[in-house]
């Protein structure tokens, strides 16, 4: 078992591509566009081409979904993405290999893995962290690991030099906020609605109020995600946050082009460019 947390010693011993990115964006007065796709969706080859093309299309950070059979916090779009990837044979090891290949040509764009704990637990936490670090992964967002379970992966990740990026939500009250933000590094992911991915778009005012609330407790950048689909919605969120995450809308392109896979990469990257334009509009 890992040593118990020291709650008095806050956050970030990790400096990473993520910190460097936000420093650059801050200097340029820009916001971050965070693009989510699922690794191996719809197959390894197309997924690798999407990954390689996203930085050029304007993605500042790539959030790479680790497919899981039971994505309990995801709506139909990302559930389908997981199923396509698994059907095509994607594994956690395959996801790490993808990132290693990506890093051969790109040493700047941060990659954050997003998913559920079980595949990592089964892989073995220590082995996973050393393999992930070696592959060039910068951060982890693990939906089903709240601060109450920090011993599992968060503290070992920090020790291994991998950012552990926490989700804060509308239900995270004042009492919990310090616990949620403690041990968080890289950025904070604000979940804009109570719900699953791919739901209705968030209300700008409510999100702005909540970001202001978070800012009182942390100096970390705050990215907003869940329910953001269009360039205009991205622009509205970029006006009030440090970064904007889009997932389901991008992943939907992969679902919609199932009959014509030759179009998948171009169409997805075109949407990514439009979303990036929305984020940079402000």
Partner 1 sequence: MEQKNSFRAGPDEKGRFGLYGGRFVAETLMPLILDLEAHYEAAQKDPAFAAQLEDLQTHYVGRPSPLYYAERLTEHFGGAKIYLKRDELNHTGSHKINNCLGQILLAKRMGKTRIIAETGAGQHGVAVATVAARFGLPCTVFMGATDIERQKPNVFRMKLLGADIRPVTSGAGTLKDAMNEALRDWVTHVEDTFYIIGTVAGPHPYPAMVRDFQSIIGRETKEQMLAREGRLPDTLIACIGGGSNAMGLFHPFLDDAEVNIIGVEAGGFGLDTPDHAASLAGGTPGVLHGNRTYLLQDDDGQIIEGHSISAGLDYPGIGPEHAYLRDTGRVTYVSATDKEALEAFQLITRLEGIIPALEPSHALAHVGKIAGDLPADHLLVMNMCGRGDKDVFAVAEHLNVEL
Residues designated catalytic:
63, 74
| CB-based contacts of 188, cutoff 8 Å, min separation 6 | 165, 166, 168, 181, 214, 218, 220, 221, 222, 223
Longest dimension (CA), the chain: 55
Q: Which residue, 169 or 282, has its beta carbon nearer to partner 1? A: 169
146 binds partner 1 (CB under 8 A): yes
Stretch that binds partner 1, among 113-121, 205-213, 236-244, 273-281 (CB under 8 A): 113-121
Q: Which residue, 43 or 277, has its beta carbon nearer to partner 1? A: 43
Q: Say how many residues touch partner 1, by CB under 8 A.
A: 43
If we measure between CA atoms, which residue out of 207, 271, 202 comes closest to residue 241? 207
Q: Are strands 167-168 and 188-191 parallel, antiparallel or unpaired?
A: parallel
Distance between CA atoms of residues 142 and 164, nearest Å: 8
Q: Which of 6, 24, 26, 93 touches partner 1 (CB under 8 A)?
A: 93
Stretch that binds partner 1, among 51-59, 141-149, 216-224, 231-239 (CB under 8 A): 141-149
- Type and span of the H or E element at 257: none
- Type and span of the H or E element at 24: helix 17-27
81 binds partner 1 (CB under 8 A): no
Let me know if 75 is exposed, middle or buried by CB neighbors in 10 A (0-12, 13-18, 19+): middle
255 binds partner 1 (CB under 8 A): no
Distance between CA atoms of residues 256 and 114, nearest Å: 23
Q: Which residue, 8 or 171, has its beta carbon nearer to partner 1? A: 171
92 binds partner 1 (CB under 8 A): yes
Q: Are strands 61-65 and 32-38 parallel, antiparallel or unpaired?
A: parallel
Q: Which of 48, 123, 204, 267 touches partner 1 (CB under 8 A)?
A: 123
72 binds partner 1 (CB under 8 A): yes
273 binds partner 1 (CB under 8 A): no
The binding track of 152-171 with respect to partner 1, each residue x by CB under 8 A or -, is --------------xxxxxx
Give the tokens for residue 176. 């919990």
In angstroms, what is the minimal distance from the CB of 72 to partner 1? 5
Q: How far apart are the first and last CA of the chain?
A: 47
Stretch that binds partner 1, among 32-40, 57-65, 116-124, 202-210 (CB under 8 A): 116-124
Interface residue list for partner 1 (CB under 8 A): 68-75, 79, 86, 91-93, 116-123, 143-149, 166-173, 176, 180, 191, 194-196, 199
């Amino acid at each position: 078992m890992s040593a118990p947390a020291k709650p008095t010693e806050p956050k970030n011993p990790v400096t990473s591509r993520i910190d460097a990115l936000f420093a650059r964006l801050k200097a340029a007065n820009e916001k971050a566009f965070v693009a989510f796709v699922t690794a191996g969706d719809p197959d390894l080859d197309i997924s690798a081409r999407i990954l390689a093309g996203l930085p050029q299309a304007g993605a500042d950070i790539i959030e790479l979904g680790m497919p899981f059979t039971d994505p309990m916090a995801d709506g139909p779009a990302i559930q389908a993405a997981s199923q396509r990837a698994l059907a095509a044979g994607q594994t956690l090891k395959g996801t790490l290999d993808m990132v290693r290949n990506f890093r051969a040509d790109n040493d700047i764009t941060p990659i954050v893995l997003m998913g559920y704990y079980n595949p990592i637990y089964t892989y073995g936490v220590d082995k996973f962290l050393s393999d992930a670090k070696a592959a060039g992964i910068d951060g982890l967002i693990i939906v089903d690991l709240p601060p109450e379970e920090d011993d599992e992966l968060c503290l070992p990740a920090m020790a291994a030099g991998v950012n552990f990026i926490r989700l804060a939500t509308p239900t995270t009250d004042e009492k919990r906020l310090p616990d949620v933000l403690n041990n968080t590094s890289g950025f904070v992911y604000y979940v804009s609605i109570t719900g699953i991915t791919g739901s209705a778009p968030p209300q700008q005012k409510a999100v702005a109020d909540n970001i202001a609330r978070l800012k009182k407790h942390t100096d970390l950048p705050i990215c907003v995600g869940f329910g953001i689909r269009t360039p205009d919605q991205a622009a509205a969120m970029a006006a009030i946050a440090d970064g904007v995450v889009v997932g389901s809308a991008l992943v939907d392109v992969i679902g919609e082009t199932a009959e014509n896979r030759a179009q998948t990469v171009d169409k997805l990257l075109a949407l990514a460019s439009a979303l990036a334009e929305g984020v940079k509009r402000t």
